[in-house]
Amino acid sequence: MADVLNVNSKDVIMFTNKLEKLSKSDFPIAVRQTLNDLAFDVKQNTLLRKADKTFIIRAPTFFKRFSAVEKAKGFDVNTMQSKAGIKPGSNIAAKNLTKQEKGGKIKKRSYIYMNQARVSRNKAKKVRKPYYLNSKNKVQGQPSVRRRSRKSNFVAAAIVGKKFNKFVLHDTSTGKTAYIIKSVKLTGRGRSRKANIKSIPIADFEQNRVISLGAKPFLKPAAIESLKKSEVLYIQNAKRRFEKALK
């Protein structure tokens, strides 16, 4: 938690005074448990709500999976702290969330999938498995002859792509686009030969793409929202210490 838990505010000072009259451990335990309750509230509640309002979430369990809590420890209330945030591990998308919070530049995957590649052609949905792109399912060494037109090179690559069920990476007027070839129908001979190609553009390609992100804070707003519950949680934990003392 980035903010400070105030145990001497007007509404809770009575509980603090009573705790300090019990054993020397009761007050710090109540503070410690409150800090931990706040951190878990961020992870389990406010972080998920803020993320849902801020991002397009294609994997429903993403933030649950990569968020974590570091619990407060010890008995020194002056140094005691709990933390809630993102623990990305090796996941690139989770690592980039720190840049989403404050803004910055990130190295994004070379392929950015278009809506056509997603379930129901919906940008909020995942990419359909048959449309996942990697170096193994790309037409390797696709024909590119200088004397040929861009269209002729595409036709040659499309024939290979359709035959071996691979996608074609083709130069367009605005960059490179990955296509899935649905069908290739050739008619005529020689110079009069024509090709009727049905294809689906599924991704935009740019090698070592770098994207600038505007700040989209979600962690700090989540912590601020959870902190509003601090007095209620502190009172609950204080009452638990009173009940334990009476047993």
pLDDT tens for 40-85 read 999 999 999 999 999 888 888 999 999 999 999 999 999 999 999 9
Residue among 46, 61, 78 at smallest CA distance from 217? 46
Domain holding 203, by residue range, is: 111-208
Residues 70, 156 within the same domain: no
Q: Is residue 2 part of a domain?
A: no
Residues 82, 163 within the same domain: no
Q: What is the pLDDT of residues 132-151, one digit of tens each?
A: 887 778 886 554 555 567 77
Residues 90, 170 within the same domain: no
The radius of gyration of the chain's CA atoms, rounded to the nearest angstrom, is 29
Q: Is residue 172 part of a domain?
A: yes
Residues 140, 165 within the same domain: yes
**Helix (H) / strand (E) containing 176:** strand 175-187
Residues 92, 137 within the same domain: no
Q: Is residue 8 part of a domain?
A: no
Q: Is residue 238 part of a domain?
A: yes
Residues 201, 128 within the same domain: yes
Q: Is residue 141 part of a domain?
A: yes
Structural domain count of the chain: 2
Q: Is residue 165 part of a domain?
A: yes
Residues 102, 181 within the same domain: no
Q: Is residue 7 part of a domain?
A: no
CA distance 72 to 100: 26
Tell me if 127 sits within 8 A of 133, measured CB to CB.
no
Angle between helices 230-246 and 13-20 in degrees, nearest 10: 30
User: pLDDT confidence of 2, banded at 50, 70, 90?
Assistant: very low
CA distance 184 to 162: 7
Q: What is the pTM of this model?
A: 0.72
